[in-house]
Amino acid sequence: MKGFNLFQLNVDRIPGYDALGPEDFASATAEEREAMVESRASVSYWRDAARRFKANKVSMAALALFLLIFLFSYLGPLFIPYNYSDQYRGSGKLGPGEYSKAEQIIKKAEGQCDGFFATALIPGSLTNLSRNTTYYFKYNGTTYSFYNESAVSNAVLLFSASSSTPLSLITESDLDAGNMEKAEPLQFSTGAVDTSDLNTQELKLIKRVFPHIFGTDSSGRDLMARTMYGGRVSIAVGIIAALIVLIIGSVYGSVSGLAGGRVDFVMMRIVDIIYSVPDVLIVLLLQVVLKAPLQAWLDASATDFARLMSNLGVGIISIFITFAALYWVGMSRIVRGQVLQLKEQEFVTAANALGVPGRRIVKRHLLPNCVGQLIIATCLQIPSAIFLESFLSFLGLGVSIPMTSLGSLCSDALDTITLYPYRLLFPGIILTLLVLSLNLVGDGIRDALDPRLKK
Amino acid sequence: MFGYILKRIGVAFLTILLIMVITFLLMNAIPGSPFLTEKSTPEMIARANAKYGLDKPLIVQLGNYILNYLKGDLGTSLKMQEGTAVTKIIFQEGKFALSFRLGVCAVIVAVIIGIPLGCLAAYNRGKWIDSVLRVITTLGVAVPSFVLCALLLIFLGVKLNWVPVISGSLGTFKSYIAPVLGLSFYPMCYIAKLTRTSMLDAINQDYIRTARAKGLKTRVIIFKHALRNSMIPVITYLGPMTAGIVTGGFVVEQTFQIPGLGKYFISSILNRDYPIIMATTVVLATLVILMNLVVDIAYKLVDPRISLTKKGEN
């Protein structure tokens, strides 16, 4: 370091008093001062790890990628008008970025009306009142009814820009002909219908049509919406399963490590046996067996917990159960190893000597020291849980329709792979990127928290 | 040494027993009878139960099953091929042989391509070829097998028309290519990664420095001295790899329409033919556990430095 050398005494060149110039009395530069500092403020373990993680470009890029997929899955549905379970009539089998026939016509009409409501795009709401002649709908608080001779199954209602009242109705035949000029202005009557006993939904005006960016499936469901929801399910399953593994594994491992002796021996032999069970076979079996009893339990019980669980679906719960039953063994081994190592440390002996109860020793002294290892193992557990869930869904044992996950999307796509390869491509790519990014983030966290393990 | 082997064999037997008990209990926990159809009367169910010995107490049934298993009898199919012995379905109708052939091919491909790739990466460490291989192997362990298989199906089968879309019972050489590639890609990438890492570890050892000081060529050092000593992690991986190949087989056989054991297992699960689920689970589990056992013992034999009596962390 240049600055440092300045302050080393150079015996060959001790300048005489006369030889000193004014520059020799200039105050030290920042660089020179820095070189003289001998002790620095201590950096905490976590800040040091964070610095190491930030310096790792690959893991930072992977983290960004993961956040991108996370936002796509969790915030994406807010920005598209489609839902994962709605089947849009006439929109089946569309390629990426395509519009259905009805949507194309609406696109043409976009300049001429303020908005539209299309039965083909949002199911329900436009309700047949008296055997396919009179229809009614609710808009802006008013109930409108109109008369139409033919059945209105695939119709588009246009709304004018100025009056915000319904303007005209385009029926299927008009759609087929492709000319909306033909559409007659509707004769509406308002308020005359008693709809109290019918469950009417307020019409939601759509301002513009949105392309099916990932295409649609054979039943007319938007694949982008399904991919987003599938991503949600996959990420949630991965994180929750990893947390289950973390809790069970760390409790079991610390008890085993702390107890030692015969208890430890028996507990570890149990772990050995579970460890050598071929997991996927048992998981597949559990999936089949758990389904019926779980469904029965969910149907019978009316607690909030059961309601929450039934929203998730039987398939996902049995995935959690299998994780709780089989996958904690790896974690428990790691925790036990750590506890065994830490148990012999002086600070634990000191705590023991002071009469600290065992539970408090675990909580205050042992677990905080294992945190690094626990985080590493949990992070690497998430992608493997996502992998397993998608594998089960692919084999038709995971989530059930209309709920979806990335794996079941791929599985659905396989039936029509030769005709519509893109149906597999989008969820497949997202799944791969998700697992890839989580793997790399996990590796990065491992390198940052425990540089000795660096590969 | 002998004690260790005995202990491992004991654990393996216990595990197989545990799997049998678990599968048996799980199977019996399912409500309803396998003979329950729209037309069946209670008497018919009772008669069928008596015929298959399902009217006895659970513990007796379990005991019978285990005894029969030791004799090589795995029970009878109740639904898919009613009345046929499961052993006949699995072994004589070629299902096991088909999956086994596929699995062995995949293992061989994974090992003989994966190890040289790992060596290549270690040999050219830091150069472009290392970077390319690292990207491929990192991606390879992240691509789910079903996505990879579907991609192979589209590109090799449909677009390029090089391989048949339906592999069937693997009659021709061409029909092997796509399934074996799909099955071996993940283990291949994993082995390449393992080899690279342990090779780089080995290169830092003292005997490599000695070899270098003697003036040996880098190539000789890598392939003769370093490779031998970096094979231990790869051998350890062969056990889990068998399990991976078995589960990978489910997907590959489903995708390429190969009527092997994996496809049969999945359809037996979807059809709820319990004796077949149980039998396939037990057979596949036995295979995986035996492989783990063999690998564990083998690699301790291969490397005399590993102490058998000292307990490692794992």
Q: What is the pLDDT of residue A66?
A: 92
Whose structure tokens read 């790890």? A49
For residue B243, give how far its alpha carbon lies from the nearest alpha carbon of chain A (Å): 7
**What pLDDT shows up at residue A114?**
57
C-alpha distances out from residue A430 to A399, B45, B56, Å: 18, 49, 51
CA dist., res. A52 & res. A48, Å (int): 6
CB spacing of B153 vs A432 below 8 angstroms = no
Q: How many CB atoms lie within 10 A of CB A392?
A: 26
Mean pLDDT, residues B35-61: 69
Dump pLDDT digits (tens) for A118-151.
Answer: 554 444 445 555 555 666 666 666 666 666 666 5
Contact B272 A288 (CB under 8 A): yes
- Give residue B285's pLDDT: 83
List the helix and strand counts (H, then E) for chain A.
18, 7
Residue A153 Rama label (left phi>0; alpha psi -120 to 50; beta): alpha
Residue that wins the pLDDT comparison between B202 and A454: B202
Using CB atoms, which residue from A277, A383, A428 is nearest to B19?
Answer: A277
The residue among B264, B279, B254, B249 whose CA lies nearest residue B80 is B264
Residues of B in contact with A390 (CB under 8 A): 144, 146
Residues of A in contact with B266 (CB under 8 A): 284, 395-396
**A179-192 average pLDDT score:** 57
pLDDT at A12: 64
Nearest to B232 by CA among B149, B298, B166, B163: B298
Can you give the pLDDT at residue A64? 94
Per residue in A44-57, pLDDT tens?
888 888 888 888 88
Asked whether the beta carbons of residue B246 and residue A269 sit closer than 8 angstroms, the reply is no
Q: Residue holding tokens 């030692």?
A: A260
CA-to-CA separations, A176 to A100, A173, A181, A182, A375, in angstroms, rounded: 12, 5, 13, 12, 59
pLDDT at A172: 57
Coil, strand, or helix at residue A157?
strand
Q: Choose the weakest-confidence range: A187-201, B173-187, B206-220, B233-247.
A: A187-201
* Higher per-residue pLDDT: A419 or B55: A419
Give CA torsion, residues B97, B98, B102, B105, to 10 deg: 50
For chain B, positions 258-277, list CB contacts with chain A under 8 A: 265-266, 269-270, 272, 277
Please list the residues that pair with A157 across neighbouring strands.
A117, A169
Each residue's pLDDT tens digit, A248-279: 998 898 888 888 788 888 888 888 778 777 77
Q: Please say whether the dihedral angle defined by the alpha carbons of residues A276, B105, B99 and A418, taken in this order, is positive or negative.
A: positive
Checking DSSP bridges between strand A115-118 and strand A142-147, what pairing results, if any?
A: unpaired
Give the integer Cα–Cα distance in Å for B286 and B63. Answer: 18
Residue at token pair 């190491």 = A52
Within 10 A of A239 (CB to CB), how many other CB atoms are there? 16
Asked if A273 is an interface residue toward chain B (Cβ–Cβ < 8 A), one would say yes
Angle of helix B261-271 versus helix B232-255 axis, rounded to 10 = 60
Domain ranges for chain B, please list them: 2-92, 96-259
Is the entire prediction scored with pTM above 0.80? Answer: no
A positions 18-37 inside 8 Å of B (CB): none
Cβ contacts (< 8 Å) between A396 and chain B: which residues? 266, 270
Q: Read off the pLDDT of residues A71-108 as tens digits, 9 standing for 90 and up.
A: 998 888 877 777 777 666 666 677 776 777 667 666 66
Kindly provide the ipTM of the predicted complex, given to two decimals: 0.80
pLDDT in the model for residue A65: 93
Q: How is residue A42 written in tokens?
A: 């201590």
pLDDT > 50? residue B309: no
The answer to whether B281 contacts A410, with C-beta atoms less than 8 Å apart, is no
Question: At a CB cut-off of 8 Å and minimum separation 6, what does B167 contact?
Answer: B175, B176, B178, B179, B256, B257, B258
Pairing mode, strands A156-159 and A189-190: unpaired
For residue A402, cis peptide bond before it (omega within 30 degrees of 0): yes
**Torsion, CA A230, CA A234, CA A240, CA A244, rounded to 10:** 140
Q: Encoding tokens for residue A57?
A: 């470009």
Q: How confident is the model at residue A14 (pLDDT cuts 50, 70, 90)?
A: low
List of domains in chain A: 101-202 (no CATH), 223-453 (1.10.3720.10)
CB < 8 Å to A279, chain B: 243
More confident residue, A147 or A194: A147
Inform me whether the pLDDT recorded for B81 exceeds 60.
yes
Chain A residues close to B131, C-beta within 8 Å: none
Please report, to the nearest 10 degrees, the dihedral formed by the alpha carbons of residues A329, A331, A333, A334 taken in order: 170
**CATH code, B96-259:** 1.10.3720.10
